[in-house]
Amino acid sequence: MVSNVEILYEDDDIIVCIKPAGMPSQGDKRGNKDLVRELKKHITIEAMRHKIKLAGEPYVAVVHRLDRNVRGIMVYAKTKRAAAGLSKQINGNKFAKIYMAVVSFDPDKEEPQIGVRKNKVSYLLHDKVKNVSTVVDEGTKEAERAELNYEVVKVAGNKALVRVELITGRHHQIRLQMSDEFNGIVGDTKYNDDYRNIEGWTGLALEAVMLSFIHPVSGKKLSFSTSAIGKEFGEI
């Protein structure tokens, strides 16, 4: 384990790990410690431990992302061949991704139904300058189709535990669609008005708890899972 990054699986082609909340999936403008850098460090340390001489800096390719404040399972490619194979699956929506989220809702409105699986399709427009997305009408120029399935697992007060099956992978998709369906994800200062004006809030009650895909070289189906451990999950 390097810098609290738990490695779930590793071979010559891929590495699967749990990204800690607060750590970016890759390097960004802030220059903070990022997961790509930590995985390269891990590969280097393991090579030294096993007395393997590396030809140069380890190759670690990003094929999908999680927001900085989201904890969860990710897979990275260790070769260009693996990166191409994983990217093809991502672009074809072939990855199976399950998230758990805690959302807030208006108790004066209808309480969310427990155990009912619902499909949600929206059209999202990404503002790259402001780094936000908005729900727009179908047919809006440059808008992307976003789809997910969700099911309310538990309700307590004005909060609900929600299981989300992500079908497409758009910018801030789950956060935005949950704010369109409910008030939004607990702790989301960007899309949930309940938390928008709370200074210093850094937690986001959203975690990627299951990832399944086909190994890009062996062709074997791989599935990995973890439990949501954030503070808000323990309070509902």
What does the DSSP assignment read for 65-81? ---TT-EEEEEEESSHH
Within-domain flag for 47:
yes
Closest alpha carbon to 184 in 115, 124, 110, 106: 106
Residue 1 lies in a domain: no
pLDDT confidence of residue 200? 64
Structural domain contains residue 13: yes
* pLDDT, position 202: 66
pLDDT at residue 59, rounded to an integer: 95
Asked, for residue 149, whether it belongs to a domain, the answer is yes
Residue 207 and residue 200 in contact, taking contact as beta carbons nearer than 8 Å: no
- On whether residue 206 sits in a domain, the answer given is yes
Residue 59 covered by a domain: yes
The answer to whether position 111 is within a domain reads yes
Q: Which residues pair with 144 in a beta bridge?
A: 124
Task: Specify the CATH number for the domain of residue 185.
Answer: 3.30.2350.10
Burial letters 189-198, b for 16+ CB under 10 A, else e: bbbbebbeee
Q: What is the pLDDT of residue 46?
A: 85
Per-block average pLDDT, block size 10, for the chain (236 residues)?
84 97 85 90 87 85 95 98 97 95 92 95 94 94 97 96 96 96 95 83 89 98 97 90
Contacts of 141 (CB under 8 A, 6+ apart): none
3-class SS of residue 229: coil
Residue 196 lies in a domain: yes
CA distance linking residue 46 with residue 33, whole number of Å: 19
Q: How many domains does the chain have?
A: 1
Domain that holds residue 131: 6-234
